[in-house]
């Protein structure tokens, strides 16, 4: 039986168990009118039984699904003749894959001999057996749990507390998924990065100035030695981020000031949602716009002014990224400005300063920490932005500060190294994880500082 139908069946069993449990609790005290003699509401006895039906069976199902392929593969390999046992782990993996494909009638990459055919038949036997065994075990475990719980029902059983404890644990599990995600990110990126640093020393990665990740497949190949100096990537990322920030910080800040201090409520009512639309546009759309509209425009303007402009210039990607970040900067700056108490503003205005003087000399300094925190978050966003640079910035790892040149960024390289077929033991693919580690660490630091500053500052005036 398929595991989805098995889960559906468990659901049906649970519904049945609920009614059985509820009715038993009532019949123990002598009918629906006597429910007051029970510790909990009758429904809780129903839930109690249903939980015992579902949870153990579901746990078994998941463990089984996780372990089944490995166990079956091991059994099949055990059944192979002697000659197959001595091959290496990689070849064995390939062999198991072939057996699996043969068993399901897919394409097989080697000549099919009798051994293989026998193994495939064995594989089908074992998988079929495993499926039958799983169905039987899951259903009997569900029934067993249900019957035990059902027999356990007594009027003084604290069914509500039991059920609520299970709910509580469920909630705790849900909230810990966020922590697990972070751990998962750190683990997955760190382990692969460590493997990378075994092949390439970390000092070369952090301080080398040549990035050319092509590695030779054969020893006699020319020009593909593989060089993993990531400085040009960091420089390119910083260049594009700097361009983006020099667009988004002034515009976002002035927008926030204008909307908070000058705009009539009608203007604000129109302008704010419009800017929010800007924040909701997917980045791939910005990327398309950068590559097909802004980049040719930058090139035309730049060349008419006598500069030599690459067709995938850092300027085009940076400009569009800056526009994308405007709403983020303006909304965070808006929060910071609005957090300054009105009494401070009124005091300055009452002493005769103009609105702009109040803003630049009183409110802005008071809101500065919050604004800086917001800008840090915006920088982290710009560093991690992927689609715009993948589509509009180049692949050439130039070490330059000229915005008209093509540069490449950390995220672009991660995408180019990992898109397509990969093997997980070459320095080339592992380099992507090392870059991912750098990206994660840097953005994490910026985020922690940014969030801390924004939050601390907001509380200061409360």
Partner 1 sequence: MGAKRTRERTTLQKVEAGLKRRRRKELIFKLSGEIATGVGILFLVLFFAILLNKGSSAFQQTYLQLDIEFSAEVIAPGGQLDLQYADFDGIVRAALQKELPEISGRSERRELYRLASVGAAYQVHDVIAENPGLLGTTQSIWVPASADVDMLVKGNIDAAVDEALRTLSDQQIDWINRLDEAGRLDLKFNSALFSNGDSREPELAGIKGAMMGSFFMLAVTIALSFPIGVAAAIYLEEFAPRNSWSDLVEVNINNLAAVPSIVFGLLGLAVFINWMALPRSAPLVGGLVLTLLTLPVIIIASRAAIKAVPPSIRQAALGLGASKTQVVFHHVLPLAMPGMLTGAIIGMSRALGESAPLLMIGMIAFVVDVPGSFTDPSTALPVQIYLWADSPERAFAERTSAAIIVLLAFLLLMNLAAVIIRRRMERKW
Report the site for partner 1 in 188-207 (rule: CB under 8 A): 188-189, 191-192
Contacts of 336 (CB under 8 A, 6+ apart): 367, 369, 370, 371, 373, 374, 454, 457, 458
216 contributes a contact to partner 1 by CB under 8 A? no
170 contributes a contact to partner 1 by CB under 8 A? yes
User: Which residue, 8, 25, 28, is CA-closest to 163?
Assistant: 25
Q: Number of residues interacting with partner 1: please give it, by CB under 8 A.
A: 89
58 contributes a contact to partner 1 by CB under 8 A? no
144 contributes a contact to partner 1 by CB under 8 A? no
448 contributes a contact to partner 1 by CB under 8 A? yes
Tell which one of 25, 237, 241, 283 touches partner 1 (CB under 8 A). 283
The residue among 25 and 283 lying less far from partner 1, judged by its C-beta, is 283
CB of 81 to partner 1, least distance (A): 27
Query: What is the rounded CA–CA span in Å between residue 164 and residue 175?
Result: 16
Query: What is the rounded CA–CA span in Å between residue 402 and residue 362?
Result: 37
148 contributes a contact to partner 1 by CB under 8 A? no
Residue 185 phi, psi (nearest 5) = -60, -50
Angle between helices 295-304 and 314-339 (to 10 degrees): 110
Segment holding 212, helix H or strand E? strand 211-212
DSSP alpha helix (H) spans, 153-264: 159-199, 202-207, 231-257
377 contributes a contact to partner 1 by CB under 8 A? yes
Tell which one of 133, 136, 284, 401 touches partner 1 (CB under 8 A). 284
CB of 366 to partner 1, least distance (A): 17
318 contributes a contact to partner 1 by CB under 8 A? no
Stretch that binds partner 1, among 77-85, 113-121, 309-317, 439-447 (CB under 8 A): 439-447
The residue among 94 and 278 lying less far from partner 1, judged by its C-beta, is 278
Which residues, numbered 78-137, are part of the site for partner 1 (CB under 8 A)?
A: none
Residue 351 phi, psi (nearest 5) = -80, 0
259 contributes a contact to partner 1 by CB under 8 A? yes
Which residues, numbered 383-402, are part of the site for partner 1 (CB under 8 A)?
A: 383-387, 390-391
Tell which one of 119, 240, 359, 366 touches partner 1 (CB under 8 A). 359
The residue among 121 and 427 lying less far from partner 1, judged by its C-beta, is 427
439 contributes a contact to partner 1 by CB under 8 A? yes
174 token code pair: 């849900």
Stretch that binds partner 1, among 49-57, 83-91, 222-230, 323-331 (CB under 8 A): 323-331
Spatial contact of 142 and 136, defined as CB atoms under 8 Å apart: no
DSSP 281-313: S-HHHHHHHIIIIIHHHHHHHHHHTT----TT-
10 contributes a contact to partner 1 by CB under 8 A? no
Stretch that binds partner 1, among 113-121, 298-306, 326-334, 343-351 (CB under 8 A): 326-334
Tell which one of 195, 231, 357, 399 touches partner 1 (CB under 8 A). 357
362 contributes a contact to partner 1 by CB under 8 A? no
Burial of 386 (0-12, 13-18, 19+ CB in 10 A): middle
CB neighbours of residue 120 within 10 Å: 21
Spatial contact of 286 and 387, defined as CB atoms under 8 Å apart: yes
Tell which one of 46, 213, 229, 287 touches partner 1 (CB under 8 A). 287
């Amino acid at each position: 039986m398929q595991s989805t139908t098995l889960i559906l069946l468990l659901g049906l069993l649970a519904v049945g168990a609920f009614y059985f449990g509820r009715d038993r609790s009532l019949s123990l005290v002598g009918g629906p009118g006597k429910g007051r003699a029970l510790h909990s509401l009758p429904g809780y006895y129903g839930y109690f039984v249903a939980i015992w039906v579902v949870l153990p069976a579901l746990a078994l199902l998941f463990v089984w699904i996780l372990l089944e392929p490995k166990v079956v593969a091991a059994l099949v390999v055990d059944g192979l003749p002697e000659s197959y046992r001595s091959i290496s782990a990689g070849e064995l993996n390939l062999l198991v894959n072939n057996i699996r494909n043969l068993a399901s009638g897919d394409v097989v990459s080697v000549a099919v001999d009798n051994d293989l055919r026998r193994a495939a038949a064995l594989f089908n036997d074992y998988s079929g057996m495993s499926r039958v065994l799983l169905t039987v075990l899951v259903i009997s475990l569900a029934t067993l749990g249900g019957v035990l719980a059902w027999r356990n029902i007594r009027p003084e059983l604290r069914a509500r507390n039991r059920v609520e404890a299970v709910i509580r644990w469920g909630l705790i599990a849900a909230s810990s998924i966020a922590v697990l995600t972070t751990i998962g990110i750190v683990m997955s990126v760190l382990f692969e990065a460590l493997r990378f640093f075994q092949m390439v020393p970390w000092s070369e990665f952090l301080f080398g100035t040549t990035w050319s990740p092509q590695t030779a497949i054969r020893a006699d190949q020319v020009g593909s030695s593989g060089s993993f100096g990531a400085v040009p990537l960091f420089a390119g990322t910083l260049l594009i981020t700097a361009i983006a920030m020099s667009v988004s910080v002034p515009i976002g800040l002035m927008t926030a000031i204008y909307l908070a201090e000058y705009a009539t409520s009608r203007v604000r009512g129109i302008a704010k949602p419009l800017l929010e639309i800007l924040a909701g546009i997917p980045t791939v759309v910005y990327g398309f716009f950068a590559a097909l509209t802004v980049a040719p425009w930058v090139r035309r303007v730049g060349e008419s002014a006598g500069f030599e402009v690459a067709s995938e210039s850092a300027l085009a990607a940076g400009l569009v990224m800056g526009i994308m970040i405007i709403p983020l900067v303006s909304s965070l700056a808006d929060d910071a400005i609005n957090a300054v108490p009105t009494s401070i503003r009124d005091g300055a205005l009452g002493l005769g300063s103009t609105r702009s003087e109040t803003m630049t000399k009183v409110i802005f300094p008071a809101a500065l920490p919050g604004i800086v925190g917001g800008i840090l978050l915006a920088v982290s966003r710009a560093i991690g932005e992927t689609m715009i640079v993948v589509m509009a910035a180049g692949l050439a790892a130039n070490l330059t500060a000229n915005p008209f040149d093509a540069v490449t960024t950390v995220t672009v390289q991660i995408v180019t190294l990992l898109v397509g077929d990969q093997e997980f033991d070459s320095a080339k693919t592992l380099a992507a994880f090392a870059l991912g580690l750098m990206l994660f660490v840097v953005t994490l630091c910026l985020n922690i500082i940014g969030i801390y500053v924004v939050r601390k500052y907001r509380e200061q005036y409360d």
